[in-house]
Structure 1
């Protein structure tokens, strides 16, 4: 399966402009014969706390992208703010949509970024989601989730590919690169990290989008601060070969880990 990561400059809080601009990426993805097109976190608003203005209850963003998926016969992953009935907070969601316009999974970010006050405006999700595209099983995570390896271990029991959509600041780009490679090596699966470029709310973003194979090798990268679609092939058989030849997962002692976690601190 050929995936494409959209490393784009998201115009701050201008949902309509960014949605309209997304069509050009679909056109290019069609020419490049991409099977799955992935956009960054909060793809059409940027990393905003302006929930009241930008949250949605009608899935209008998903519906618009679903129409592009059908029109160009491409699967896609996009981020948006889902409103919650009777709650001032929203959910930071990432949705995988099939090439026929159906929702394959709708993930809510488990770990809102408290350092950036995201937890004041967004409710953390409670579930790991999975999607099947052709022979590839994938699971989407979002930005700050990358710092919590436990959920990657759980997801990778089923997954060939884990995606991380982000608005990750340039000031912490070394963390981004190191953590993405670590998650790939630890879980022996493909990791695709898609990040935005440009400036949003006075924060600089350099992109550094990466696609990493199950051995931790970077098989796709982009230039910093350049708008582009990063492309790589996902080979399910490589995941199987790596796991069968170096059986790290079979050596995990999860019942012991759980026991150790429940021991009261002395």
Structure 2
């Protein structure tokens, strides 16, 4: 029974009961299946660290120093996630503070990833080909970099006046996981996050989401997890920016069933959580809702397209 108890920790009770009955006529086969499943779960768990921090307005050096103190306390993580525009705050002055893809902040990210032997994700203001981008950077321990340029620019704050929108989604294959990455306002547009045929196992949303609309943030994160049957991680900042906008965090981890596993607000905090790939797979097998989704694509490349 010890084997069954171990599996119970990873699977929904209804799912476990169904599998137990299905295999109950052959105890030996069932035992072998659970042993292999438990070993697979250990290999496919992912430790993710969420950094909810205050930011110094438009001062990359001070923000790097401050966040490095947060990172110093992290051990054994596979992935560290920072907020949107973590070097400057959500600024509409890219001409004065943008960096290049060889600038000090990306070099700092590479150094931190190598030092902690994990991937680091966050967005910053990047200039490239005489344009400015709100660019999410995924930096691996070996120094390799993947990036995503924010597609949905926040017109309410005239982000579209200063920045160029991206049009290509990012899904990273990382330690057996498929992880999609988005930025802030993208959260309001479910088609862009659509998880056709299990295209991803977890989705990351990094943000500078003001406190006055925090109820929207929390509700939409939970909705994205439920409709896409994936883990959803939302990492937001705290404090006040140079425009006197307040941020109260609400950094969250939500599982594929929509259960809130972590919810932090109103203060700086660094939390490491563990994600289970077998839980994602088990939920989708027990509730195969993604297979019933209506087929469609956007005019440009989008998650779930055949392109």
TM-score by length of structure 1 reads 0.91
Deviation at 1:185, TM superposition (A): 0.1
Q: 1:10 aligns with which of 55, 61, 67?
A: 55
Q: 1:205 aligns with which of 247, 265, 271?
A: 247
Matched residue of 1:53: which SS? helix
Kindly tell me: are residues 252 and 58 of structure 1, through their superposed partners in 2, closer, same or farther at Cα, counting changes over 3 Å? closer
Structure 1: state its 5+ residue gaps: 259-266
Provide the rounded CA distance (Å) in 2 between the counterparts of 1:121 and 1:212. Answer: 33
What residue in structure 2 maps to residue 235 of structure 1?
Answer: 276
Is contact 2:184–2:205 with CA below 8 Å preserved after alignment? yes
Matched residue of 2:96: which SS? helix
Deviation at 1:229, TM superposition (A): 1.0
Does 2:130 match 1:86?
yes
* Structure with max Cα Rg: 2
C-alpha RMSD of matched pairs (Å): 1.7
Kindly tell me: are residues 170 and 52 of structure 1, through their superposed partners in 2, closer, same or farther at Cα, counting changes over 3 Å? same
Is contact 1:214–1:239 with CA below 8 Å preserved after alignment? yes
Kindly tell me: are residues 156 and 76 of structure 1, through their superposed partners in 2, closer, same or farther at Cα, counting changes over 3 Å? farther
TM-score by length of structure 2 reads 0.79
Give CA deviations for 1:204-256 in whole Å, capped at 9, x if unaligned.
Answer: 0000100000000011121x221011222111111111111111111112149
With 141-150 and 64-73 compared, the bigger mean Cα shift is at 64-73
Kindly tell me: are residues 255 and 136 of structure 1, through their superposed partners in 2, closer, same or farther at Cα, counting changes over 3 Å? closer
What residue in structure 2 maps to residue 264 of structure 1?
Answer: none
Is contact 2:214–2:250 with CA below 8 Å preserved after alignment? yes
Provide the rounded CA distance (Å) in 2 between the counterparts of 1:74 and 1:190. Answer: 19
What residue in structure 1 maps to residue 110 of structure 2?
Answer: 66
Q: 1:165 aligns with which of 199, 206, 220?
A: 206
What is the aligned residue count? 252
Provide the rounded CA distance (Å) in 2 between the counterparts of 1:257 and 1:202. Answer: 37
Matched residue of 1:92: which SS? strand
Provide the rounded CA distance (Å) in 2 between the counterparts of 1:83 and 1:180. Answer: 30
